[in-house]
Amino acid sequence: MKFSTKKTLVAAIALTAVAGPFAASSALADDGEPSPWLVRVRMLDVQTQQGNDAGTVHVPGAVPVGADSIKVANRTQPEIDVSYFITHNISAELVASYPLSHQVQSSGKYIGGFQELPPILNLQYHFDGMGNFVPYVGAGVMYMRTMNVSLDGGALGLQQNNWGEDVQLGADYKLDSHWLLNADIKKTWVNVGLDNSTGGTILQLHPDPYILGVGVGYRF
Protein backbone atom coordinates (compact mmCIF):
# COMPACT_ATOMS: atom_id res chain seq x y z
CA MET A 1 0.00 0.00 0.00
CA LYS A 2 1.25 3.48 -0.86
CA PHE A 3 0.45 6.45 1.38
CA SER A 4 0.01 9.84 -0.23
CA THR A 5 1.65 12.85 1.45
CA LYS A 6 -1.74 13.69 2.92
CA LYS A 7 -2.12 10.20 4.40
CA THR A 8 1.40 10.28 5.83
CA LEU A 9 0.77 13.56 7.64
CA VAL A 10 -2.51 12.31 9.06
CA ALA A 11 -0.84 9.09 10.23
CA ALA A 12 1.86 11.10 12.01
CA ILE A 13 -0.82 13.10 13.83
CA ALA A 14 -2.53 9.90 14.94
CA LEU A 15 0.71 8.35 16.19
CA THR A 16 1.31 11.49 18.23
CA ALA A 17 -2.14 11.00 19.71
CA VAL A 18 -1.20 7.51 20.85
CA ALA A 19 2.06 8.56 22.50
CA GLY A 20 0.80 11.80 24.03
CA PRO A 21 -1.21 10.39 26.98
CA PHE A 22 1.84 8.73 28.48
CA ALA A 23 3.83 11.96 28.37
CA ALA A 24 1.12 14.30 29.62
CA SER A 25 -0.86 12.46 32.33
CA SER A 26 1.02 14.06 35.24
CA ALA A 27 0.55 17.55 33.77
CA LEU A 28 -3.23 17.15 33.82
CA ALA A 29 -3.20 16.12 37.46
CA ASP A 30 -1.06 19.13 38.42
CA ASP A 31 -3.46 21.55 36.72
CA GLY A 32 -6.46 20.26 38.66
CA GLU A 33 -8.30 19.09 35.55
CA PRO A 34 -11.05 16.45 35.77
CA SER A 35 -10.16 12.91 34.82
CA PRO A 36 -8.64 12.78 31.33
CA TRP A 37 -10.88 9.86 30.32
CA LEU A 38 -14.12 10.40 28.40
CA VAL A 39 -16.38 7.63 27.07
CA ARG A 40 -19.19 8.25 24.59
CA VAL A 41 -21.93 6.00 23.22
CA ARG A 42 -23.37 7.13 19.90
CA MET A 43 -25.83 6.00 17.24
CA LEU A 44 -24.17 6.25 13.83
CA ASP A 45 -25.59 6.79 10.36
CA VAL A 46 -22.95 5.56 7.88
CA GLN A 47 -23.65 7.10 4.46
CA THR A 48 -21.46 5.56 1.76
CA GLN A 49 -20.58 7.25 -1.53
CA GLN A 50 -20.41 5.91 -5.09
CA GLY A 51 -17.17 7.27 -6.54
CA ASN A 52 -15.41 4.15 -7.81
CA ASP A 53 -12.61 3.93 -10.34
CA ALA A 54 -13.67 3.71 -13.97
CA GLY A 55 -13.75 0.20 -15.32
CA THR A 56 -15.84 -2.87 -15.92
CA VAL A 57 -15.99 -6.05 -13.86
CA HIS A 58 -15.83 -9.14 -16.06
CA VAL A 59 -16.88 -12.37 -14.39
CA PRO A 60 -17.01 -15.59 -16.44
CA GLY A 61 -20.60 -16.56 -17.15
CA ALA A 62 -21.99 -13.23 -15.86
CA VAL A 63 -23.00 -9.98 -17.46
CA PRO A 64 -20.18 -7.36 -17.24
CA VAL A 65 -20.78 -4.84 -14.44
CA GLY A 66 -19.70 -1.20 -14.60
CA ALA A 67 -17.68 -0.12 -11.57
CA ASP A 68 -19.62 3.13 -11.33
CA SER A 69 -22.83 1.12 -10.81
CA ILE A 70 -21.58 -0.63 -7.64
CA LYS A 71 -22.94 0.88 -4.41
CA VAL A 72 -22.36 -0.17 -0.80
CA ALA A 73 -25.57 0.32 1.15
CA ASN A 74 -25.83 2.79 4.05
CA ARG A 75 -25.94 1.51 7.61
CA THR A 76 -27.23 2.67 11.03
CA GLN A 77 -25.50 1.20 14.07
CA PRO A 78 -24.38 2.05 17.64
CA GLU A 79 -20.72 2.54 18.57
CA ILE A 80 -18.58 3.35 21.58
CA ASP A 81 -15.53 5.60 21.63
CA VAL A 82 -12.92 6.46 24.24
CA SER A 83 -11.07 9.80 24.46
CA TYR A 84 -7.99 10.69 26.49
CA PHE A 85 -7.30 14.40 27.12
CA ILE A 86 -3.60 15.01 26.67
CA THR A 87 -4.09 18.65 27.70
CA HIS A 88 -7.16 20.75 28.50
CA ASN A 89 -7.82 21.29 24.77
CA ILE A 90 -6.17 18.35 23.01
CA SER A 91 -7.42 14.77 23.11
CA ALA A 92 -6.93 11.45 21.34
CA GLU A 93 -10.09 9.55 20.41
CA LEU A 94 -10.40 5.87 19.51
CA VAL A 95 -13.69 4.93 17.83
CA ALA A 96 -14.61 1.26 18.15
CA SER A 97 -17.55 -0.73 16.86
CA TYR A 98 -18.65 -4.29 16.34
CA PRO A 99 -18.59 -5.38 12.65
CA LEU A 100 -20.95 -3.47 10.36
CA SER A 101 -22.92 -5.48 7.79
CA HIS A 102 -23.39 -3.91 4.35
CA GLN A 103 -25.42 -4.95 1.32
CA VAL A 104 -23.92 -4.29 -2.11
CA GLN A 105 -25.89 -3.35 -5.20
CA SER A 106 -25.02 -3.08 -8.88
CA SER A 107 -27.35 -0.89 -10.96
CA GLY A 108 -29.85 -1.16 -8.11
CA LYS A 109 -29.72 -4.98 -8.02
CA TYR A 110 -28.55 -6.84 -4.90
CA ILE A 111 -25.35 -8.82 -5.59
CA GLY A 112 -24.31 -9.81 -2.05
CA GLY A 113 -22.86 -8.36 1.10
CA PHE A 114 -19.92 -8.17 3.50
CA GLN A 115 -18.96 -7.10 7.02
CA GLU A 116 -16.34 -4.53 7.98
CA LEU A 117 -14.65 -3.52 11.22
CA PRO A 118 -13.70 0.19 11.02
CA PRO A 119 -11.74 1.51 14.04
CA ILE A 120 -10.72 5.18 13.76
CA LEU A 121 -8.00 7.02 15.69
CA ASN A 122 -8.23 10.83 15.78
CA LEU A 123 -6.37 13.72 17.35
CA GLN A 124 -8.82 16.45 18.41
CA TYR A 125 -8.76 20.10 19.46
CA HIS A 126 -11.56 21.31 21.79
CA PHE A 127 -12.44 25.02 21.83
CA ASP A 128 -13.04 27.13 24.96
CA GLY A 129 -15.13 30.20 25.68
CA MET A 130 -18.68 28.99 24.89
CA GLY A 131 -19.82 27.85 28.31
CA ASN A 132 -21.26 24.35 28.34
CA PHE A 133 -21.07 24.16 24.54
CA VAL A 134 -17.67 22.74 23.52
CA PRO A 135 -17.05 22.33 19.76
CA TYR A 136 -14.05 20.39 18.47
CA VAL A 137 -12.28 19.42 15.26
CA GLY A 138 -10.20 16.34 14.58
CA ALA A 139 -8.28 14.30 12.02
CA GLY A 140 -6.73 10.88 11.95
CA VAL A 141 -6.50 7.45 10.39
CA MET A 142 -9.05 4.75 9.65
CA TYR A 143 -8.48 1.00 9.31
CA MET A 144 -11.18 -1.00 7.53
CA ARG A 145 -11.00 -4.80 7.75
CA THR A 146 -13.48 -6.63 5.54
CA MET A 147 -14.77 -10.10 6.36
CA ASN A 148 -17.53 -12.58 5.48
CA VAL A 149 -17.58 -11.34 1.89
CA SER A 150 -20.19 -12.89 -0.41
CA LEU A 151 -20.45 -11.07 -3.74
CA ASP A 152 -21.87 -12.39 -7.00
CA GLY A 153 -22.02 -15.95 -5.75
CA GLY A 154 -18.40 -15.91 -4.60
CA ALA A 155 -17.02 -14.74 -7.95
CA LEU A 156 -15.98 -11.40 -6.44
CA GLY A 157 -14.10 -10.59 -3.24
CA LEU A 158 -12.82 -7.56 -1.35
CA GLN A 159 -9.35 -6.62 -0.18
CA GLN A 160 -9.21 -7.52 3.51
CA ASN A 161 -6.97 -4.79 4.99
CA ASN A 162 -7.66 -1.20 3.96
CA TRP A 163 -6.33 2.12 5.30
CA GLY A 164 -7.63 5.65 4.92
CA GLU A 165 -7.92 8.98 6.67
CA ASP A 166 -10.70 11.11 8.08
CA VAL A 167 -11.56 14.60 9.28
CA GLN A 168 -14.06 15.36 12.02
CA LEU A 169 -16.30 18.14 13.32
CA GLY A 170 -18.35 17.79 16.49
CA ALA A 171 -19.58 19.34 19.71
CA ASP A 172 -20.27 18.33 23.31
CA TYR A 173 -22.86 19.98 25.52
CA LYS A 174 -22.07 19.56 29.22
CA LEU A 175 -25.07 18.63 31.37
CA ASP A 176 -22.98 18.60 34.56
CA SER A 177 -19.39 17.83 35.57
CA HIS A 178 -19.65 14.27 34.20
CA TRP A 179 -22.48 13.85 31.68
CA LEU A 180 -22.71 15.44 28.24
CA LEU A 181 -24.59 15.26 24.96
CA ASN A 182 -22.67 14.86 21.72
CA ALA A 183 -23.12 15.36 17.97
CA ASP A 184 -20.37 14.49 15.51
CA ILE A 185 -19.72 14.13 11.77
CA LYS A 186 -16.73 12.46 10.12
CA LYS A 187 -15.72 12.34 6.48
CA THR A 188 -13.52 9.37 5.59
CA TRP A 189 -11.51 8.43 2.51
CA VAL A 190 -10.74 4.74 2.00
CA ASN A 191 -10.01 2.55 -1.04
CA VAL A 192 -11.17 -1.08 -1.11
CA GLY A 193 -9.83 -3.43 -3.78
CA LEU A 194 -12.43 -5.50 -5.65
CA ASP A 195 -10.95 -8.95 -6.42
CA ASN A 196 -11.88 -11.70 -8.85
CA SER A 197 -12.00 -15.41 -8.07
CA THR A 198 -8.23 -15.77 -8.62
CA GLY A 199 -7.43 -13.12 -6.01
CA GLY A 200 -6.29 -10.43 -8.43
CA THR A 201 -7.50 -6.88 -7.79
CA ILE A 202 -9.76 -5.73 -10.62
CA LEU A 203 -10.34 -2.14 -9.54
CA GLN A 204 -10.68 0.11 -6.50
CA LEU A 205 -13.99 0.94 -4.84
CA HIS A 206 -14.28 4.22 -2.92
CA PRO A 207 -17.12 3.98 -0.37
CA ASP A 208 -15.69 7.09 1.40
CA PRO A 209 -18.52 7.24 3.97
CA TYR A 210 -19.82 10.20 5.89
CA ILE A 211 -20.36 9.06 9.49
CA LEU A 212 -22.95 11.05 11.44
CA GLY A 213 -23.37 10.37 15.15
CA VAL A 214 -25.42 11.54 18.13
CA GLY A 215 -25.16 10.24 21.67
CA VAL A 216 -24.16 10.75 25.29
CA GLY A 217 -20.82 10.84 27.05
CA TYR A 218 -19.39 10.46 30.53
CA ARG A 219 -16.22 12.23 31.77
CA PHE A 220 -14.70 10.30 34.67
Between the alpha carbon of residue 211 and those of residues 47, 49, 76, 119, 187, the distances in Å are 6, 11, 10, 12, 6
Least confident interval from 16-25, 42-51, 94-103, 130-139: 16-25
pLDDT tens for 63-112 read 555 666 788 899 999 999 999 999 999 999 999 888 889 999 887 888 89
Is pLDDT larger for residue 90 or for residue 16? 90
**What pLDDT is stored for residue 32 in this prediction?**
58
> In whole angstroms, what is the distance from residue 156 CA to residue 59 CA?
8
Is pLDDT larger for residue 60 or for residue 128? 128
- The mean pLDDT of the chain is 83
Highest mean pLDDT among 1-5, 14-18, 48-52: 48-52
pLDDT tens for 121-154 read 999 999 999 999 999 999 999 999 999 999 888 8
> In whole angstroms, what is the distance from residue 189 CA to residue 73 CA?
16
Shortest CA distance to 161 belongs to which of 205, 118, 111, 123?
Answer: 118
Residue 8's pLDDT band, with cuts at 50, 70 and 90, is very low
Residue 15 CB partners (closer than 8 Å, separation 6+): none
**Percentage of the residues of the chain whose pLDDT score is greater than 90:** 56
Eight-class DSSP state of 19? H
> In whole angstroms, what is the distance from residue 124 CA to residue 8 CA?
17
**What pLDDT is stored for residue 63 in this prediction?**
52
Is pLDDT larger for residue 29 or for residue 44? 44
Eight-class DSSP state of 99? P
**What pLDDT is stored for residue 106 in this prediction?**
82
Instruction: Output the pTM of the full model.
Output: 0.79
Residue 10's pLDDT band, with cuts at 50, 70 and 90, is very low
Is the pLDDT assigned to residue 57 strictly greater than 60? yes
Left (φ > 0), alpha (ψ -120 to 50) or beta: where does 19 sit? alpha
List beta partners, residue 85. Answer: 91
**What pLDDT is stored for residue 54 in this prediction?**
59
Other beta carbons within 10 angstroms of residue 155's beta carbon come to 16
* Rounded mean pLDDT, 21-47: 72
Is the pLDDT assigned to residue 25 strictly greater than 50? no
Pairing between strand 201-205 and 192-195? Answer: antiparallel
